Amino acid sequence: MTTRTPFAPAADPRRDSSGGAQLDVAAGLLALLRDTTTEPRPDPQLDALTLAVVADLPVLLWGEPGIGKSAALTQLAAALDLPLTTVIASVHEPSDFSGLPIVGDDPAEHGVPMAPPDWAVRLVRAGRGLLFLDELSTAPPAVQAALLRLVLERRIGALQLPPGVRIVAAANPRSSAADGWELSPPLANRFVHLQWTHDHEVVVRGLGGTWPQATLPVLAPQKLPEAVRFARRAVCGLLTARPELVHRLPSSETRRGGPWPSPRSWEMALTLTAFATAAGASRDVLSLLVRGTVGDGPGLELLASLDRMDLPDPEDLLADPTGATLPERGDLRQAVLDAVVAAVRRRPDRSRWDAAWALMVNALENGAPDLVVVPATTLASLRQRDWDVPTAIERFAGVVSLSRRADDAAARARTTAKARR
């Protein structure tokens, strides 16, 4: 009678005792687990990453450990048909990025060349690829300084990376990074910063075998010249009106390690605006890109400028007020109505004043009435003595009265609150 320990498996004559065979079976199971598919699915952060990579701008993905940054890069490389080269920045020395000195035959005559690492040589030989710099926030300051030339000039020692190489980095917030460092301002200002978060539905569906597909943006050739003009007009118009935004180095160390406005980052924002315009990207994608380049505040101001550039010309609206199509968004509709009133103020004329009232009626019938109160009140103040009051103005009496009652109620509430204090 044979005995066995409690932890030993019972003998099974049907079981192949060959360890190699069992490893082959295990490999087959692992292959089935890795056999996943992709599907087109709206994903603004993946679309923003893809567009920035196509625009040949260095991208830095910020996210907690294990959130899928590396997996997204693997999928993106497959979608772009680019070989993926991963370099863990924190385990390298500065000389790995600046080049190792190699003494030649006569250093006094030929100098000492800087030899690049093997992965850089492979990228040059391939002529194309996706270079993934992982764990960037755990790289010490000396390594970050050595990365400056690689990220901006695509040079490693004496080696120039070919134009077909794209650069993407990933970092964990300092609070969750092992021995983490804040990024130096010069290095941070060279990246498009994207916050990488997880979507519950995407994760569940992906674990079921289907992940979102990285879709290349389709750039319309006929739109390229206009996209460039549009982007330049938007960025230059904003910086002309707000010159203090051209360069604003944040005061805190943490914010310096993120996106902030400088001539370099504004140039990246201009490039991304042109690419997004030519590709017909959504506002969400463009918002992620410009805020990840110049920061939230300046980025939102640029988005507001872009919205205003898309507004209809006030003169066109005055020419056909009843057939005019006004923006759906309340803030944009308010801006259009204010611009029409300003146009009448600049060139007052009875026919233009009447046309503006017809436009106000159009806005009253097809939108929120409260948006018409201020421009209608201002338009009424522009009336000259010999201009008859239009019958349409009676339709605004109830709206103005209701608005005034709301204002009075709000004022009484503020007075009561102050008295209770």
* Same structural domain, 199 and 232: no
From the centroid of its chain, how far is CA 13?
61
| Segment 323-362, tens digit of pLDDT | 888 888 888 888 888 888 988 999 998 899 889 888 888 8
* Same structural domain, 241 and 342: no
Share of the chain above pLDDT 70, in %: 84
- Tell me how many helices (H) and strands (E) the chain has: 19, 11
* Same structural domain, 294 and 415: no
- The answer to whether residue 29 is domain-embedded is no
Say if pTM beats, i.e. exceeds, 0.85: no
Q: Among 28-42, 103-117, 306-320, where is mean pLDDT lowest?
A: 103-117
Residue 166 has pLDDT above 90, yes or no: yes
CA separation for the pair 346, 340 (Å, rounded)? 10
- The answer to whether residue 11 is domain-embedded is no
* Same structural domain, 305 and 319: no
Mean pLDDT of the chain: 83
What confidence score (pLDDT) does residue 51 get? 95
* Same structural domain, 202 and 298: no
* Same structural domain, 67 and 206: yes
* Same structural domain, 338 and 296: no
CA separation for the pair 273, 234 (Å, rounded)? 9
CA separation for the pair 379, 400 (Å, rounded)? 13
Higher-pLDDT residue of 362, 6: 362
- Within 13 A of 79's CA, how many CA atoms are on the CB side? 24
* Same structural domain, 409 and 321: yes
The residue among 288, 309, 330 that closes a domain is 309
DSSP letter string, 222-268: GGHHHHHHHHHHHHHHHHHH-GGGS----SSHHHHTS----HHHHHH
The residue among 276, 292, 309 that closes a domain is 309
User: Domain containing 206: what range?
Assistant: 39-212
